[in-house]
Structure 1
């Protein structure tokens, strides 16, 4: 059972016992005589226990009888010894050291370990380490055993020595340790005294994942100490967390490798350490491997030592001062290619030998982006080497380990002629993102996970800068609006959202915030800040921040202070950075700016909070000290003099209040006809804009007559804002529908992508409604001309032309345009008949594969499965996984769902992805929803630490739920679960979105039906 703990049993037992003592209708009474006897027996027993305790003094042996948890650590023997120590000290609490689901040392009142309550069924929140000690240097040795036996028996062993500085007096050393068995000795020494061992005992607090080492005498402030753990052991599992097992096939033989993923709290699964981001230290690492393998870590190898039985120990150069979550240890048999940066940093790209040629592009783009970031930040990359490695099994997209970035294969490998332009852009984006982390996160680290956005928000914005530097023709900053800004608006319009800066404690809560708010909203408000501060202040302010806090930890106020200092030095208009940015970081959601026009040429601008459901009740856990008002950098342009290249000089700040702000001289007398105003040019600001009906009509008229007058970003904005405001009831749905009337003339990717997102949602809501046939005709009408213009011939297309063709082909085929469907089926059949020679353009593969499998039967599906099994390119395998979910045969989908949780068929990293794909199929929607609920325990077991996988799955399988019956199903399922782990917020969002979908159906289906009828559909 997921989340099973001994404390759950004891709580349940206490509850059951209470119920048994509660008077029922069949009353039972105890006589007075019997009651007196019971009392006398209790007194005798108490006296007897007291006598036993009294005489169990020095020299006596006390045997502890405990029920030990079978959790794979060495708490048992240590607890018995601790118990004996307390007994011989005359302590009354004999055997209280017996480990349970949460065990703590019985220490004097000066202990630095938080008190543990073992009876509370809720999660602990005081999980922070004591601050009395700080590590200076770890000496770690690890030896994975994965060469003999079956994978379930694989393990690793190791040792660790930690040099510590004592900052305040303490009587223990508290480390993190999770699922590790201490099989050797623990020694504690004062500096320069390796004879007098200060170790007294140790115990485990399993709930906090603490290893508490008690000392024979207090540790004194301003002195150094060393704790040595001579031998420990941990399981080497394919769980994608900590030090884990990854496997791939070569010549029908399984090849095993050991690799790591430490972020956020899994270094403690690899070796005992102080596993918090602000607790930085240096590391001396030794990895012990078989002679036919290689080892890689954060630093270069400086020494090899041959050991017996074919083992080799690789010793690595001492690392920079860094956080534990940035460590990486890999033992594999990979090949590499190499290049060198301008500053002579060795840059290697590792991959499976069969796939090493596919690493060329990631290396090609990585080197100049690293050079660019060095120049932009004004700080040289501080390590002698930068490695990147593509792993067969990886839970995330990539991880920024300092000096050794790990990637999922789809995020690093690219093969020209086989991979699509979308695959190429994904590789470029992820490489740039991880290199940005070498400064934001690695050099300067958030002091705690509540400021995760300082890592992920910055990397998610700076990634665009890196790719734009190398591929300016890709228009990455135009794409930003639909990839990040508009996509996160949808989540951040819910009351189940959260602030960018969010208090977290338990590891489940930490995992929970690795979400679109931390990444995409973080990036969006950074983009907004760069806009209103100007490029120069922004760039120099970041350099000031990075230099001041290099090799240290930061709080977000440190960033505001650095930017404000730079702004004052540059005599910038906006120096109150903290006042402005706190309103965006410390409260969730975002504003709608409403523009109203009068007849004198003035506009009045005010703000209010956007919620998809304006009647939703705010959660108690998040309150806004700003009353959900913001400092808003407002800009605008008009039809009389349309200029979309606004700068910080054009910004008018709307103060944090609810009073309207009047801006004069907007140069149009009134909206309507050909007169319009557009707020938020280029959509730099993190807010939506609403207008009077006359202005909306004028914008729609402009789009229909000459849409090119309006910038592509703002064409996308108009569509996204209108549909979202209609969803919240703030705008007539007919206006939102009318923003799509011009689409047959649109040839830019970004506006079409914004429209596709909104129209796909409508399709998902109507697919089981009688109205879908009419909506399908509408979609065919909007796409057929564009499809015929672009065709399915992608030869010679630019990057964004390929994106546009892929988008239109997907829509045209999905909504049943015969020319598209027939072409897709013919191309797929040609592939099947060509003995594996694929004639399909990479940019169209996803559409062609899906449509052909959907139109075909088991033969087409089995062909895709065989291609999946034999393909050597991860991106191609991913397309085929998606295509197999498109079949219209429910029995095949049921078979596919069972395959999804069979690691011999589908890798664990892809299991939730397959279910998500199936949930997007109209036929598979209910199958996936049922399978998800029936197999939750299994999925939670596989992905309990991989919160992103489960969160994405929850969002996908519930995305189209839109009836009261489905809402009740979802609520009932949530209530049946004992442990939601890190998925609590995802389920809350699913409930809120389902209710929103129900409201949307009630409010908008009649309007859409009427409008479609008026349009002749």
Structure 2
């Protein structure tokens, strides 16, 4: 019997050899989609070795040489006995005839070839028009090895000098640093050499070539900032440029540390796997997240652009100047940048109410994911490269941002900024860990930051705080236990010992003091009793003011009842109204409170006029909708209830834009209109069709904020004719935002033939790789018919989808979009069985989370559907008999 060879376990690269500088020479061929390269790597020898192991993937090595420079200056070649590329761990292993001595200066020279593929990873091609291509890099986390042999781990920082030679001198060629020289070659070619970078890790190296226009500004510190756009669109880069220049100034002042490079370029790419990437000095963006047209772009796109630019500029300090030591600490840069992007944009645009939006858009999604059994700690052990892509998720980004926000609130801005400056100064041009950050903040504040915060980063989940009055009524009992939404039978409290307890900064506000805390403690044990001021013992009591803490609160019925008048008269602060509703929604999901009580609580928000509160209401309504999608009678009554809920707010605001509309008004109008479309509001649908026809014939254009929902109205009512028109709109426009408006509407049809056409269109060459999920998600999320068709389509095309995406965030988000809408135990079992027989490497955790979510919804339905159905039918009957 022959032995079965096992793949060796993953190991990080040895530190026997340390790269110091890379001289990289590249010659891409945009007609053949190939590139040739030569890299000269200068190494220092920390430990004598006769083996060299570095990363290389999907490259053809043609020649390699090793030279050693002795202390005398003599240079000699060391024979390479053999070398081999190992696909299983993406390494190039070189065996030498003799050992390299400690302290020697070594030059490793490798000539190789590679493919300019279309996978959006490594060094890849990007379409810029019919038969016109550019090329660009995306290296995070392990893509640099696809472009050149290197030590492709974040702790191996080195200096890079990039040289690029192309056959077309008209191409715009960029890299992290400014040009050092430009030499015209024969037959119209050009060779560009760039200035050496400072010490950086491989994943932050970048270069780009293609046809672009640019718009520029210069900061007071003489940093040249440019936004590169597709040809003819440079004015659409003006808003991003404004934000980038202001963000550089803001972060310099906040950190007390200047930006360290002479220039910063931001470039809009038509093909890009993620939203944006912070490559030092050359920031890359998906086109629709960098370009903003004041005449045709929506308010939502404007704030997306501001946030994404602020996020990537923040990384120039937090991630680039100081880099994580290993991917276990991914949250340290991504969570921090996600938090500070809000701080920056709130400073630049205070009228946008960004910290209130943070609660709904960032904090709550993290809490919803983190109460699953299949969540993970912020600091998660990464044992192989396939696991890295999976932790670019809501835990690393959103939970990371949320606990930084909690920490900032606890130790105060002055201490926080002092600690941040010390951290950046101490680790500049080097690597750091989570513990390094806690140490700096602890020294600055004098508070036990490491002890408290490690309870939030080193284990998954978060606590549920139970609050009730003691018998005396002048004391408040607070108790903590790990909250797990799948533990509904035990009150949502996990029995896992690993969860233990958290150290929780708690504050208390009351009706008498709604904006200022009357008490602040750190809850370290399982419970504590808090004394209440005598004049506050009958008012509402809020244990998470501003929704700053990363936890849920379950108030006793007596305490919960006290909030109701303050919700109705809106005297409860906006952030607290949002937090209360979000907590109650998850308590309902866990089976701690009945769904009918959640519906009745939502009804108290009907007179609200604030966009951010309505945003939270819509999220809770969508969660409830998952209960009844499979019951037509219940869904019909639920849609009636939704129309009752949303119509008054829509009438108050009006569908037509007003001259004094604020940014927030435009966001609210879009939110309410979409809500009424989904609730099958007849007046809204008919009006939408009429406006679509006027838009199509050019007599009255639809405002950008309403295009997608108006498209949906027309598609629901006129079917194939409108579907064909929408596909033509997407085909004719070169605006990625305009294409996205079409994609988001395609799933609104209730015709199985049109939904199938939408699915096939989503996987066709007409839709870019990064946009397929938008189309499929639109179909799967809107109806039982859509989700069933989408799942069948996914299964039938699983092989093609696996080849297209292989791994990464695009794949995991697509899988969740297709699977999460289901709602029965049988469907969960089917999904589980399918992925067991059709594995997708790098998506295992996301698949488990999706299956768990389906099972939780199934239990919720079993528990509450009948009572909800009874309530909603009674509600509809009573409203129908009530005079208007």
Q: What is the TM-score of this pair, normalised by structure 2? A: 0.95
SS at the partner of 1:739? helix
Does the 8 Å CA contact 2:489/2:591 hold for their aligned counterparts?
Answer: no
Does the 8 Å CA contact 2:68/2:104 hold for their aligned counterparts?
Answer: no
Residues 908-947 of structure 1: pairs in structure 2 closer than 5 A: 908-922=769-783, 923-945=785-807, 947=808
Q: Does 1:611 align with 2:484?
A: yes
SS at the partner of 1:635? strand
Cα pair distance change 1:600/1:435, threshold 3 Å: same
Instruction: State how far apart, in whole Å, the 2-side matches of 1:825 and 1:666 are.
Output: 58
Residues 305-320 of structure 1: pairs in structure 2 closer than 5 A: 305-320=183-198
- What is the aligned partner in structure 1 of residue 24 from structure 2? 140
- State the Cα distance separating 1:125 from its structure 2 match: 4.1
Cα pair distance change 1:917/1:476, threshold 3 Å: same
Indicate which of 206, 216, 222 corresponds to 2:97: 216
- State the Cα distance separating 1:793 from its structure 2 match: 1.0
Indicate which of 102, 115, 118 corresponds to 1:235: 115
Instruction: State how far apart, in whole Å, the 1-side matches of 2:77 and 2:155 are.
Output: 31
794-803 or 368-377, which moves further after superposition? 794-803
Instruction: State how far apart, in whole Å, the 1-side matches of 2:612 and 2:402 are.
Output: 17
Does the 8 Å CA contact 2:403/2:550 hold for their aligned counterparts?
Answer: yes
- What is the aligned partner in structure 2 of residue 185 from structure 1? 64
Instruction: State how far apart, in whole Å, the 1-side matches of 2:172 and 2:872 are.
Output: 64
Indicate which of 752, 761, 776 corresponds to 1:890: 752
- State the Cα distance separating 1:626 from its structure 2 match: 6.1
Cα pair distance change 1:623/1:216, threshold 3 Å: farther
Instruction: State how far apart, in whole Å, the 2-side matches of 1:914 and 1:119 are.
Output: 42
Instruction: State how far apart, in whole Å, the 1-side matches of 2:875 and 2:419 are.
Output: 54
Q: What is the TM-score of this pair, normalised by structure 1? A: 0.83
Q: Does 1:174 align with 2:53?
A: yes
Indicate which of 665, 685, 704 corresponds to 2:532: 665
Does the 8 Å CA contact 1:765/1:960 hold for their aligned counterparts?
Answer: no
- State the Cα distance separating 1:196 from its structure 2 match: 3.0
Cα pair distance change 1:600/1:913, threshold 3 Å: closer
Instruction: State how far apart, in whole Å, the 2-side matches of 1:988 and 1:321 are.
Output: 39
- State the Cα distance separating 1:627 from its structure 2 match: 3.7
- What is the aligned partner in structure 1 of residue 153 from structure 2? 276
- State the Cα distance separating 1:976 from its structure 2 match: 1.0
Instruction: State how far apart, in whole Å, the 2-side matches of 1:189 and 1:350 are.
Output: 42
- State the Cα distance separating 1:896 from its structure 2 match: 2.4
- State the Cα distance separating 1:119 from its structure 2 match: 2.0
SS at the partner of 2:726? helix
Does the 8 Å CA contact 2:747/2:779 hold for their aligned counterparts?
Answer: yes
Does the 8 Å CA contact 1:668/1:676 hold for their aligned counterparts?
Answer: no
Instruction: State how far apart, in whole Å, the 2-side matches of 1:825 and 1:615 are.
Output: 44
SS at the partner of 2:26? strand
736-745 or 453-462, which moves further after superposition? 736-745
- State the Cα distance separating 1:194 from its structure 2 match: 3.4
- What is the aligned partner in structure 2 of residue 161 from structure 1? 40
Q: Does 1:119 align with 2:22?
A: no
Residue deviations 1:740-774, cap 9 Å, x none?
Answer: 12222001111111111111122233122131111
Residue deviations 1:200-219, cap 9 Å, x none?
Answer: 32122221111112222111
- What is the aligned partner in structure 1 of residue 246 from structure 2? 368
Instruction: State how far apart, in whole Å, the 2-side matches of 1:885 and 1:136 are.
Output: 53
- State the Cα distance separating 1:187 from its structure 2 match: 3.0
Residues 445-844 of structure 1: pairs in structure 2 closer than 5 A: 445-568=323-446, 575-598=447-470, 599-614=472-487, 627-639=499-511, 641-646=512-517, 650-655=519-524, 657-658=525-526, 660-667=527-534, 675-704=539-568, 706=569, 708-769=570-631, 770-796=633-659, 797-834=661-698, 839-844=701-706
Does the 8 Å CA contact 2:812/2:846 hold for their aligned counterparts?
Answer: yes
Instruction: State how far apart, in whole Å, the 2-side matches of 1:259 and 1:131 are.
Output: 30
- What is the aligned partner in structure 1 of residue 858 from structure 2? 998
Indicate which of 234, 251, 264 corresponds to 2:141: 264
- State the Cα distance separating 1:186 from its structure 2 match: 2.8
Q: Does 1:972 align with 2:833?
A: yes
- State the Cα distance separating 1:254 from its structure 2 match: 2.1
- State the Cα distance separating 1:1006 from its structure 2 match: 2.1
Instruction: State how far apart, in whole Å, the 1-side matches of 2:376 and 2:690 are.
Output: 48
Residue deviations 1:555-581, cap 9 Å, x none?
Answer: 11000100011113xxxxxx1111100
Instruction: State how far apart, in whole Å, the 1-side matches of 2:310 and 2:496 are.
Output: 35
- State the Cα distance separating 1:890 from its structure 2 match: 1.8
Does the 8 Å CA contact 1:587/1:624 hold for their aligned counterparts?
Answer: no
- State the Cα distance separating 1:816 from its structure 2 match: 2.1
Does the 8 Å CA contact 2:626/2:823 hold for their aligned counterparts?
Answer: no
Instruction: State how far apart, in whole Å, the 2-side matches of 1:939 and 1:324 are.
Output: 29
Does the 8 Å CA contact 2:488/2:590 hold for their aligned counterparts?
Answer: no
- State the Cα distance separating 1:725 from its structure 2 match: 0.6
Instruction: State how far apart, in whole Å, the 2-side matches of 1:627 and 1:291 are.
Output: 60
Cα pair distance change 1:175/1:623, threshold 3 Å: farther
Rg (Cα) greater in structure? 1
Instruction: State how far apart, in whole Å, the 2-side matches of 1:540 and 1:500 are.
Output: 24
Residue deviations 1:533-560, cap 9 Å, x none?
Answer: 1011111111111110001000110001
Instruction: State how far apart, in whole Å, the 2-side matches of 1:872 and 1:700 are.
Output: 49
523-532 or 299-308, which moves further after superposition? 299-308
Instruction: State how far apart, in whole Å, the 2-side matches of 1:221 and 1:560 are.
Output: 35
SS at the partner of 1:744? coil
- What is the aligned partner in structure 1 of residue 844 from structure 2? 984
Aligned CA RMSD, in angstroms, stands at 1.9
Residues 290-305 of structure 1: pairs in structure 2 closer than 5 A: 290-305=168-183
SS at the partner of 1:607? strand
Unaligned stretches of 5+ residues in structure 1: 1-13, 19-117, 148-152, 569-574
Cα pair distance change 1:717/1:623, threshold 3 Å: closer
Instruction: State how far apart, in whole Å, the 1-side matches of 2:496 and 2:152 are.
Output: 31
- What is the aligned partner in structure 2 of residue 73 from structure 1? none
Cα pair distance change 1:866/1:723, threshold 3 Å: same
Instruction: State how far apart, in whole Å, the 2-side matches of 1:486 and 1:911 are.
Output: 26
Instruction: State how far apart, in whole Å, the 1-side matches of 2:795 and 2:535 are.
Output: 57
Report the count of equivalent residues. Answer: 867
Residue deviations 1:426-461, cap 9 Å, x none?
Answer: 100000000011111111111000100011001100
Instruction: State how far apart, in whole Å, the 2-side matches of 1:643 and 1:701 are.
Output: 14
Residues 8-23 of structure 1: pairs in structure 2 closer than 5 A: none
Residues 23-38 of structure 1: pairs in structure 2 closer than 5 A: none
Cα pair distance change 1:669/1:714, threshold 3 Å: closer
Does the 8 Å CA contact 2:482/2:499 hold for their aligned counterparts?
Answer: no
- State the Cα distance separating 1:1009 from its structure 2 match: 2.2
- State the Cα distance separating 1:1016 from its structure 2 match: 4.3
Residues 900-915 of structure 1: pairs in structure 2 closer than 5 A: 900-903=762-765, 905-915=766-776
- State the Cα distance separating 1:296 from its structure 2 match: 0.3
- What is the aligned partner in structure 2 of residue 435 from structure 1? 313
SS at the partner of 2:431? strand
- State the Cα distance separating 1:844 from its structure 2 match: 1.3
Does the 8 Å CA contact 1:696/1:735 hold for their aligned counterparts?
Answer: no
Cα pair distance change 1:394/1:645, threshold 3 Å: farther
